[in-house]
Amino acid sequence: MKIAVLGADTELGRRIVNAAEGAGIQVASVVEHFASSIGSGPLIIKEVHELNINDFSKCHAVIDTLSFPRIEAYGADKLPFWHVCNLIRNSSIKLIAVGSSAFLYTDKKRDTFVRDMDGIHFDNNEKRHNLAVEAFLKIKEIHDVEWTLLCPPLVFDLKAYGTGKFELGDDILPISVSGSSYISLCDFCKALVELLKVGGYSCRCVGVRSL
């Protein structure tokens, strides 16, 4: 299996590259500026909008680590996600993006997003979560690309090592019996690799939490 990782020079991107290569997956690292060596695979140095379908030659999937984590910089209408969709439309290449907890549902009734849940205050993240939901509502209308949004829970810990165990779910916010909604960066990357192994889920969100 071969994948391309957009934003491979970010902390999240580097960890995904390392986790994928550790699982025997070939990785092409996509960065906008030259950086120190990332992984053992090819390094593609291009602005996102300059990428073309040939850059994803022989790739089974493209991993987008940029769009939702940096949605305030891009805006909902100019995400790397849209450009990749245009490139791989009606192809066999899958698109897996790091999503947001904002557009997971609060329960099985699926009538309330986490963003709108009572008692949740995003403070400085309110704009980011509103943009995320705006983009997600547009993504839901895409049916000619096999996309998956892997969404972290309420707490996404970028520093903790993690338990090494995780649970992949559906489009509902994952919460433990003790009320915890948490994942470490390490566990998130392992979950993404597992998602790659099963081929992703066509046109849907997948929540994940550490166990």
| ∠ Cα 164 181 208 (to 5°) | 55
- Assign 158 a pLDDT band (cuts: 50, 70, 90): confident
Domains and CATH numbers, the chain: 2-210 (3.40.50.720)
Strands (E), the chain: 2-6, 26-31, 43-45, 61-64, 94-98, 146-151, 155-157, 166-168, 182-184, 204-210
Q: Which helix (H) or strand (E) holds 137?
A: helix 126-139
**pLDDT value for 161:** 81
Share above pLDDT 90 across residues of the chain, in percent, rounded to a whole number: 80
- For all residues of the chain together, what is the average pLDDT? 92
Token representation of residue 94: 């899958």
Are the CB atoms for 32 and 19 separated by under 8 Å? Answer: no
Contacts of 94 (CB under 8 A, 6+ apart): 60, 61, 62, 146, 147, 148, 199, 200
Q: What is the DSSP string of 40-74?
A: SS-EEE--GGG--GGGGTT-SEEEE-STTTTHHHH
Q: In the predicted model, is pLDDT for residue 123 greater than 70? A: no
Tell me: pLDDT of 17 over 70: yes
Q: How far is CA 74 from CA 49, 67, 70, 115, in A?
A: 12, 7, 7, 20
Would you place residue 122 in the very low, low, confident or very high pLDDT band (cuts 50, 70, 90)? low
Which tens digit of pLDDT belongs to each residue from 159-199?
A: 888 888 999 999 999 998 888 899 999 999 999 999 999 88
Per-residue pLDDT tens over the stretch 58-107: 999 999 999 999 999 999 999 999 999 999 998 999 999 999 999 999 99
Looking at residue 116, its pLDDT comes to 86
Provide the pLDDT for residue 5. Answer: 98
Report whether 93 contacts 147 (CB < 8 A).
Answer: no
User: Residue 21: which pLDDT band, with cuts at 50, 70 and 90?
Assistant: very high
Q: Using CA atoms, how far apart are residues 60 and 120, in angstroms rounded to an integer?
A: 37
First to last CA, the chain: 27
pLDDT value, residue 53: 97
Tokens 């120190």 belong to 36
Backbone angles phi, psi at 54, to 5 degrees: -65, -25
pLDDT at 120: 60
Whether 85 contacts 141, CB under 8 Å = no
Q: In terms of C-beta density within 10 A (0-12 exposed, 13-18 middle, 19 or more buried), how is residue 194 classed?
A: middle
Segment 24-53 mean pLDDT: 92
Whether the predicted pLDDT of 134 surpasses 70:
yes
Q: Mean of the pLDDT values across residues 52-58?
A: 96
